[in-house]
Structure 1
Amino acid sequence: MTLYRQLLLWMLVILFLLTSAVFAIQFKTTKNYLIEQQSTELNNVVSSIGFALSPYLKAKDLISAESVINATFDSGYYSQVKLTLLDSEKEIIRHYPQVTNNVPHWFQSLVHIETISQTRTLTSGWLQLANISVTSSPISAYIQLWKATIQLVLGFIACLLFGAIVLAFVLNKVLKPLKQIQKSAQEMALNHFTDPLPTPHTRELSDLVTAFNSMNIQLQQHFEQQAQETDSLRVRAYQDPVSGLANRSYLITKLQSWLLNNPSGGIILLKSDTIENSYQKSGYESGDHLVQKLAERLKELSADDVTIARLNQSEFILIAPNASEDDLMETGRTMLYMTSELNSDPLGIAPLQAAVGIVACSATLTITALLTHADNALNKARQEVKEPIALLDSSKKKTIQIMGKQQWKTLVDEAIANNLIHFTFQQAINTNNDVIHKEMFAYIKKGEHKFNAGQFLSAIEKLNEGTKFDCYVIDTIFNQLTKKTKSVPVAINITQSSINDTGFIRWLNRKLQSYPQMKQSILFELPEICFIKNIDNTSLLCEIIRQNGFQFGIDNYGHNFSSLGYLNKLRPSYVKLDFAYTSQLDDQMKTDVLESITRSAHNLSILTIASRVETIEQKEKLTQLKIQGFQGYITAQLVNGK
């Protein structure tokens, strides 16, 4: 029971006891008054009847005497009148009915009022004529006492209600700072930090609020400092300090993983002579300024599966998995255009002081060979007269992966129309090898051909056509899980184009409202790039998911080298670490970065899941670094082996 309710209850109990005591005193006083009034009236009537009857009794006129008795005692205040003549022993007796229709029987049995009898001898001079005995009736007293009781009860009930309302209002006002402290403390327990509480006028609560605000600010500063330290460690380990892009170490890690998984797409190598000349002629300050200017433009090309890195002083590389040759050429031209903005050429007639080399990747390439091909493509680009851009295709044969964006869109539309989309699931487990959830991966199967989501998602994303695909996937998964009585939670990936589509957000809100029973069965996984580039729409979607009782997580956490401050604001249920943080566990600096990132999420009660965990040894090392979840090739073996 809350303090407010306890105080209110005890105050109401005390108020009830006080009003009960007052009620009892008032009731007893009223009862005694009515009994006293009854005795007085009886005494008066007996005295007056004596004077009225004496002349008739002296004249032996019993008929007149009886008439006087009937006239005097017809008011119902008396139960019996008895007149006894002393000289003849004759008696006149009158009994009056005791009707109590207006008073409950239980009240009469509970409150007992005695009848009063009074006898007096009637005389005429010294001559005794008769004895008269009158017995009162308690009915009138009962009626008056019952009416008085009803008035008292109603009055005291009204007082109690009014007192309860006043007490509730006063206590609520007095304890409002305490309730604010309670609510803020609950938020603080979840590592949610609120604005400082207003200082109340009550001295004791004022001291408490002041101390609480101070503690709240200190904890908030501690978490912010920890997040800044985490960002600093990430910058030193994986980020180029000048451009803010990925550094060479992070790039090599990405290339290694990419080349091991049957790569498609390609890389784009940009060489800026303007930046190189600036470093040589004007010094590091001028060169760094141009690097930062170009990096800000290059970041506009970032996506969930795209990695942009600074290779050396004036060279930048963009990894574009699953991109077609046309897409690579289009992106390369965009990078050239961004580089041209560094030149002071208002007329736009000066030659570009930059070149772009593009390599379409194949599974047979090593990192060294891939970078060598990129250098060769760059040299070839410099020889182009019209446009300093060149593409080398390192693959031996053309495959379906070079389909254009419109072709991929047509294929996806056909797959949706004909139910050609199928699903595979990969389990995420905890340290005890228990399944946390399973992530859903979609693929298209058309005839003998199979197309993974990675091949076509980037194409439909560029056409902003991801909403239709997401709606189909969500509908299908909801329908499948509705038929199951119990299932492991399924994580559904949402595309960036859907997150930026307000129509999709409204549709998803209606969907979630229609399926409240699916709260424990469905999770939504959002790419981290949306929290960087589209924070407003992403925040709206996250709020709708949370309001409907569902949960969401963040994929590729840490990929975009942005501040991790959005975690404290949006509070996902889990984050899946970018595999670059979990692939090089022998490097102490990178291990420190991973441990710091994990600690930041853990302090916010956010589950951290490592992706692409391939071996038991890797899982054990990650466990020592406080990673709580694992997903990859090894997870299915561990679950099946339990």
Structure 2
Amino acid sequence: MRSWIHSAPSPDLILTNALLLNIALILLGWNRLKALNSELETRRRSEEEARKLADLDHLTGCYNRRSFTAALGHLLTDGVGNERALAAIALDLDNFKQVNDLNGHQAGDEVLRSTAARILKLLPEGALLARLGGDEFVCVVPYHPQVPDRIDQLATRIIEQVASPVLHEGSAVDVTMSVGIASSIQIEDTNLGELSAQRLMHKADIAMYHAKKQGKNRFYWFEMPMENELRFRNELEAGIRRGIALGEFKPYYEQQVDLESGQLVGFEMLARWESPELGLVGPDIFIPIAEEIGVIGELSERLIAQAFEDAKEWDSEISLSVNISPVQMRDPWFAQKLLKLLVKHRFPANRLDIEITESCLHENIGMVRSMITSLRNQGVQVSLDDFGTGYSSLSQLRSLPFDRLKIDRSFISELKESDNRGKLVDAIISMGDGLKLPITAEGVENEAVLEALKGMGKLKGQGYHYGRPEPADKVIERLAAQDRLAKTSLENVTEVDFKAADEKRGGGKKAG
């Protein structure tokens, strides 16, 4: 500076340039440091957001399965003892699929968000809530082992709050919730981190599924018999799948008798499971499970095919009745599949009677009407089974082309015990006469019931009074003793026979 004001000699040029260069480098380095700090802060925020997204459910803001399992593992390792326990509460919305189907997925998302918010509002300090996926939630709540009532009260409040309608675009969406609870004191070793957490969540899940089985919209604490029942259920599922593949399911036959003449007029095919491990298993055990796991169609078709082969050895005047599951009636191709089986096994359609229950009429009556019409046009008889236990109306009976009504055994078996039952059965028979629908009475268990029915009109009956359901070989022995076996072979039956049977009963249309 003194040199610039001419009061001193000029500085060394090299030193001056070096000084200026150092200053420039310092400024450049400072700017670079600021840029690096900004970049690191941005990356830190991004990583924090990524961790947050990885740990939280994007729809509800709750923990997700991975992060909740880890957090519960830490709580079990560090936070339980004689004075403090943890309750895992599994929560699952009932029939949530219907919410999406009827109202759309946006309404379903709104229900999930509202459910999470309502649960969070009720949870005490120190509790955690996670959405495990779909409509399934789980929370963990600390409590004193000597005061489990606190968890009961919390579960009750959660069920009540969730049951309040959720408003979406001006419409109220109603849902209920099933709840299962398991306590950390039911875990043998709580020091296994995530493994202990998974075991506790699994027990809560078992209790929740038990609540659903008991009617939904309620809660249950986990108990050991529930786990044994679930293990048995899983074994049954595996056994059913294996049994279908190995042909362990067999058709049994129950006699159908004309009450007036006492003559055998038909058999109803009933499924039995001849299990090597469990012995002879009734349909009340395996049919509901087969329906739930989606194998009822395959199981039924195999049994029907075998029944066709068995019935071809009977007298041609003896009919074959087959029960059809409501699940099968949801298949729009069911009628075509059945007619294909008839043709494949060369079984006359006019000897077949399909029995459907009243519950089928309320799921999709249009499709049911189309199926019934298709089957009847080919000569198949169609009966309404378990009449009196459902909600079918007179208008449905008039509009749907049924061939027969079957009165449920619950009315028939108590016929002599209650005058009201007798009047009700008599009213059903009178209604059948008015609609020109013949009647079959199920559950004829003794001579007293038989005599009561004989005085009510011309009926068919079936029940243990005539004998227990029998396998095919016993049926052959019975029919041989009565000289009721087929006189001629049915091996030459062709599709022409189906048309002839159709013309005989007045039909003329082909199946749709």
Into which bin does the TM-score normalised by the smaller protein fall? 0.3 to 0.5
Structure with larger RCO (C-alpha < 8 A, sep 6+): 2
| TM-score normalised by the chain length of structure 1 | 0.38
User: Which structure has the larger Rg?
Assistant: 1
